[in-house]
Amino acid sequence: MAEETNENVKSSGGGKGMLIVLIVLIVVLLAAVGGLGYFMYSKGVFDNQPAQTNQTSQQEQANPQEHTGDTYKGDVDSLVLNITDAKGRAKLMKLSFTLKTTESKIEAVLDETKAEIVDSVIRQVSARTSEELLTVGGKAMLKEEMIDEINNIINDSIPEGDTDRPRNPIIDLYFTSFVIK
């Protein structure tokens, strides 16, 4: 009987070690989640305006003569795109947007470069999952990348020596339709 009691004491001692390991793992996990939350908060992920938008507005303030004067709008309507979700299932997305620009002949420029712009939008949207695109940060990132890429496409279409057409004419982009089904 005495031997059985000693064996019970020895086996319960192993449980205390597991309990300590479990507590340490929980503390480390909580510290990691807290650190990740602080990192995301400091990067502005939880703000309504992402950090990239703040950088853009600072660039606009540094270069105010770029955006003074008249602005014009051009539409890109009814793009139907294939995207996937996180599990790899196919989904459809309908996307329309309006470009705010300093280019007075934006409709002619869009007609001229529409194939390149649509191809660029397809590549950018296809690189993301539907879950990412449904977040505010994902939409803002897509918007900024689309503005940069469309400006590059328009800049490439301007003949050398043509000083009548402005460089980087796209000021902003507004999603007018953003449906994922």
40-52 pLDDT per residue, tens: 777 766 665 444 4
Let me know: does 130 contact 91? Beta carbons within 8 Å: yes
**pLDDT at residue 3 above 70?**
no
Assign residue 143 the CATH number of its domain: 3.30.479
Count the domains in the chain: 1
In a domain, 49, yes or no: no
Listed range (63-67, 69-73, 104-108) with the worst mean pLDDT: 63-67
* Domain assignment of residue 122, given as a range: 71-180
Taking the whole predicted model, whether its pTM rises above 0.85 is answered as: no
In a domain, 65, yes or no: no
In a domain, 16, yes or no: no
